[in-house]
Chain A
């Protein structure tokens, strides 16, 4: 709602002075324009004699807050003032019409006739339409400074504090007070360095860092005298295993490895002139950050309105006014910015509540008008409701009654999807009707066994290849049954199955509803050795079991190609190496290292080393074994030829015991002597670990010489 302004003869004893700086339409340079009105003398105020007469009356203010059925809606309507300039000469208006008025700085003074003018408004022009009534300047007050984005700085991607090139353009976020679960963003991949805010504004602390919701151990780097030195110390620091090193003074941290999920932090926000964490003090910092010189009026009193610990996290795009709304409306406070650059905080409350919450009136800012007839008071809180006489009233809206109000706290700035939360935390979240959590129902004693498993009827299948390298007739298709059990009962029909293969194998699995053949793998094609892994979802837990496929060809070594005869002295047959039990720990441990052997000779020097052992392990939560196989063909053991960093893994979220055979077919091509080394290493995941006593048993390397 706006009101059409018009000259106000009642106020002719009030002098209004308007000094504006619209831009010259051609050059863009500011042009000084001075407008005046009211009073009875010539205008010579403020040391200028070029005032143009025609200001119709004092500025009129429109200000308000949004309100709807659900409560206050934010979007506090910025305070605006309208000044109308209606000169007697049409040419004067024409001269003003040549300027570009938008965003022009404008100041308005008012005074009783003959008195010293007092600054009433210091703002910018929002709109400047010209109509029959003259030029109407709509002036956005000091609140205009609050309507600009609060966060404008961005990471340059130039290295150091500014991060890798990939980090270019990331906004430098700001946090005040207690802020929870803010996503850390990658700055430098090589050292797993992350930022949580603008490095120019030191944070009080980073008290928690989480990967997939799980907190890690923390070490902190203090201020080293400069941002560069602090950064260098952060980069040089040793990161605790499973945790982070934080440097709150530059709002950065390093995680010990590449995080598995969203990396989030809790923050105690900017220190500035001293760390603050109450609603009013944070509002004061936001106001000051948006516009130098602005402040919350009577901060100590305002602070007593809402003394609880609070916080806010601001990202790019949010204006200071929006941030203030978000901070204050949730605490049922409103804010008003006045011409003098001070912001007043008031409670949303009717009556008694107001009296109880009111504070002693602060000294009002210099009154805008001194005339008793005009006398708009300064924004000083009133101790008790003022009694008013209504001249007219209309009903505008009715709002439904509210029977309950939920107020959120501890705002989560990075809501996680279930997949982004570590399994054990999710398990703690599953609640049964009696209130027990899934985690509480899991076996608690050490070495407790899980009751779900998949078993395969065979661990290895061998196929004979013909001379042409194809599987000889009559061997395909071949079926292998996998069986899923839960608490010793066969649940294969209830499980959901899938199959994966490696190497030269094609296979499918029966997952048809109500089929008794569920879990049966049918091998349809084999062109070389590999593995078949059946997976089943049993009671919400993914299980897997793998078997090996080997191919045994016609003996490769032939002295006379094409005759089919095996030459005397050819390298053929099998050779077995075995080792005893070996404890498996968190360091890589050799299970077996064979002496040198030959797999073939001449141009057909190839064979298969069938590595097998038995995993006997109990774990605390998620853990696994990383198994590596190395082959030395004469140049020493180099990188492993078979390595699964995730290893053989249990991932059911609770304590697990497993004991199952492992078979790995390792093709080897070498004409000279070779050696095979097999290692195992316990691997921890997400807080789990293998318990003492993990042992690899019955380790064997069976060499099929001349096989392919």
Chain B
């Protein structure tokens, strides 16, 4: 009798197999206010999914905020990049790192940037 992989039936019933990553610091600090999320990756192997989970959690653990800045120039090239922003408002001391998720070129040679930054 061929050995049957005990997880085979589990997988056959599910959308995928899952590799979790947990941020103990966030869990301790925020408790139930912190959320659990998931996504199905294209990866085939558990090791790749584990590395991916750690990578995604590093980005998402946050808390994150979405800020909209106006900067000089027509800067569509900043989409999808990390930028270091200096500003006078909303607690932007020198060089706060933020990730640009939307660009909109404006009149007057300006660009509106939607950025994600960590609150802490």
Across-interface contacts of B26 in A (CB, < 8 A): 401-403
The reply to whether B52 and A401 contact each other, CB–CB distance below 8 Å, is: no
- With A332-B52, A390-B86, A403-B34 already in contact, the answer to whether A397 and B10 are too (CB < 8 A) is no
17 residue pairs bridging A and B, Cβ less than 8 Å apart: A63-B79, A309-B48, A350-B99, A387-B83, A388-B83, A389-B71, A391-B72, A392-B70, A393-B67, A396-B114, A398-B64, A399-B66, A401-B33, A401-B63, A402-B23, A406-B37, A425-B8
Who on chain B is nearest to A440 by CB?
Answer: B6
Interface string of A356-387 (1 = CB under 8 A from B): 00000000000000000111111111100111
Size bin of chain A's contact surface: 35 or more
With contact pairs A62-B105, A64-B103, A406-B18 given, residues A421 and B59 touching in the complex (Cβ less than 8 Å): no
9-residue interface stretch from A3-11, A42-50, A539-547: A3-11
- Could you tell me the distance between the alpha carbons of A226 and B39 in the complex, rounded to whole angstroms? 41
Contact between B83 and A385, CB atoms less than 8 A apart: yes
Q: Does A77 contact B (CB under 8 A)?
A: yes
C-alpha spacing A421/B7, complex, angstroms: 13
- Contacts A180-B44, A350-B98, A421-B13 given; indicate if A401 touches B61 (C-beta within 8 A): yes
The closest CB in chain A to the CB of B106 belongs to A3
A373-B79 Cα distance, complex, nearest whole Å: 19
Q: Compute how far the CA of A691 lies from the CA of B65 in the bound complex, rounded to whole angstroms.
A: 67
Query: Which among B43, B65, B74, B108 has the highest number of chain A CB atoms within 10 Å?
Result: B43
A339 to chain B, nearest CB (A): 10
CA distance in complex: A250, B80 (Å):
40
- What is the chain B residue whose CB lies nearest that of A373? B109
- Do the beta carbons of B43 and A310 come within 8 Å of each other? yes
Q: How far is the CA of A415 from the CA of B67 in the complex (A)?
A: 40
Q: Is A394 an interface residue (CB 8 A)?
A: yes
Contact indicator A279/B42 (Cβ below 8 Å): yes
Chain A residues near B42: list those with CB within 8 A: 177, 279, 282, 310-312, 326-327, 330-331, 411
State the Cβ distance, A674 to closest chain B Cβ, in Å: 44
Q: Mark B73-88, 1 if CB is under 8 A from A, else 0.
A: 1111111111111111
Which chain A residue has the least Cβ–Cβ distance from B30?
A401
Q: Given A63-B76, A65-B102, A410-B44, verify A331-B52 contact (CB < 8 Å).
A: yes
Residues of A within 8 A of B86 (CB): 387-390
**Separation of A357 and B112 alpha carbons in the complex (Å):** 26
Contact with A along B1-34 (1 / 0, CB 8 A): 1101111111111111111111100110110011
Closest to A378 in B: B77
Task: Give the complex CA separation of A60 and B51 in angstroms.
Answer: 38
CB < 8 Å: which of A177, A351, A398, A429 contacts B9? A429
B43/A409 in contact, CB under 8 A: yes
Q: Which of A5, A6, A346, A374 has a CB less than 8 Å from the CB of B81?
A: A346
Q: Is the interface of B mostly helix, strand, loop or mixed?
A: mixed
Also in contact, A402 and B87, with CB within 8 A (given A62-B105, A408-B39, A412-B11): no
Known: A403-B23, A418-B13. 4 other contacts (CB 8 A): A308-B44, A308-B45, A353-B58, A400-B62
Query: Roughly how many angstroms separate A620 CA and B84 CA in the complex, as a whole number?
Result: 68
Interface residue tally for chain B (C-beta within 8 Å): 105
Q: A415-B13, A429-B6 are in contact. Are A61 and B103 (CB under 8 A)?
A: yes
CB pair B48–A399 under 8 Å, yes or no, is no
A289 sits at the interface (CB 8 A): no
Contact across chains for A351 and B82 when beta carbons are under 8 A apart: yes
CA distance A409 to B42 in the complex (A): 6
How many whole Å from B28's CB to the nearest CB in chain A? 9
Q: Answer whether residue A517 sits at the interface, using C-beta atoms and an 8 A cutoff.
A: no
User: What residues of B have a CB within 8 angstroms of the CB of A396 in the complex?
Assistant: 66-68, 114
- B34 and A402: CB pair below 8 A? yes
Pairwise interchain contact B19-A407, C-beta atoms closer than 8 A? yes
Given A405-B53, A687-B2, residue A334 in contact with residue B80 (CB < 8 A): yes
Complex alpha-carbon distance, A621 and B39, angstroms: 38
Tell me the bound Cα distance from A449 to B60 in angstroms: 56
Known: A70-B35, A279-B42. A428 touches B8 (CB 8 A): yes
Tell which of A351, A354, A398 has the most Cβ of chain B within 10 Å.
Answer: A351
List residues of chain A with CB within 8 A of the CB of B62. 399-402
Answer whether residue A417 sits at the interface, using C-beta atoms and an 8 A cutoff: yes
Interface centre among A312, A399, A420, A431 (most CB of B within 10 A): A399
Interface pair B79/A64, CB less than 8 Å apart: yes
Decide if A395 touches B67 in the complex (CB within 8 Å).
yes
Q: Which residues of B contact A344 (CB under 8 A)?
A: 80
Residues of chain A with a CB closer than 8 A to B52's CB: 306, 308, 330-332, 407
**Most B CB atoms within 10 A — which of A58, A331, A350?**
A350
Judging by beta carbons under 8 Å apart, are A382 and B89 in contact? no
Q: Which residues of A contact B38 (CB under 8 A)?
A: 405-408
| Whole-angstrom CA separation of A640 from B90 in the bound complex | 88
Collect the chain B residues with CB atoms within 8 Å of residue A277's CB: 44
Whether the pair B9, A428 counts as a contact (CB closer than 8 A) is yes
Q: Which residues of A contact B30 (CB under 8 A)?
A: 400-401, 403
For the complex, what is the distance from the CA of A386 to the CA of B75, rounded to whole Å? 12
Instruction: Check if A387 sits within 8 Å of B71, measured CB to CB.
Output: no
B19 touches A409 (CB 8 A): yes
Contact of B37 (CB < 8 Å), options: A10, A60, A70, A389: A70
Q: Is A487 an interface residue (CB 8 A)?
A: no
Q: Are A387 and B95 in contact (CB under 8 A)?
A: yes
A195 within 8 A of B: no
Tell me whether B59 and A332 are in contact (CB under 8 A).
yes
Q: Is A450 an interface residue (CB 8 A)?
A: no
A393 and B68 contacting across the interface, CB-CB below 8 Å: yes
Chain B residue with Cβ nearest A262:
B12
